[in-house]
Amino acid sequence: MAVGGGSALQRDHQTAKSDFAPTLTYSMGVGSSPLSTWVLGGMVRGETMFGLGSDLGAVIRVATGGFARGDWGVALEAGGLWRPWRQGSYGEWPIQGIVTLGSPWGFQLALGTQVASIDLAEPALGFLAAVEIDLLRLTVMRQGATERWWYNPAPAGGHLN
């Protein structure tokens, strides 16, 4: 469960211009045990690009165990988005991929791109970058070095040790 903000760049195929927009990101998901080396999960992810519109979609994510436990790590996700704005000139069903770099205390940097189109219609072409805070990685999932400062007596999945 994360929320963040950043910037997006989207290509308008009708005008052949690229539009820049401030962006709000949000996501929520579930996954396999955070005690594993690799964690597989599913998420609902959205982005609101102010002045353009909002995307909403389902993605599959694979993350390192450290990421899932609220410590250092990386997550990769891919999936499809629904983009019901601007009559499809920015693509209506883009495929999105995001790399998320996670650090302790739930802070993360998400870098993503939208390409192609699930419905093979007008392809999407866009990029986004956002700084996010993952509320679960900050609280119930948190383990590792941060516990020296704020002990988590019962992290989700239990302690790694």
- The string of pLDDT tens digits covering residues 47-106 is 999 999 999 999 999 999 999 999 999 999 999 999 998 888 888 899 999 999 999 999
In 3-state terms, what secondary structure has residue 19? strand
CATH number of 2-148: 2.40.160
Q: List, for residues 67-82, the tens digit of each pLDDT value.
A: 999 999 999 999 999 9
pLDDT at position 158, please?
85
The predicted structure's pLDDT at residue 116: 87
Q: What is the pTM of this model?
A: 0.92
> What separation in angstroms does the CA of 25 have from each of 38, 86, 126?
24, 20, 15
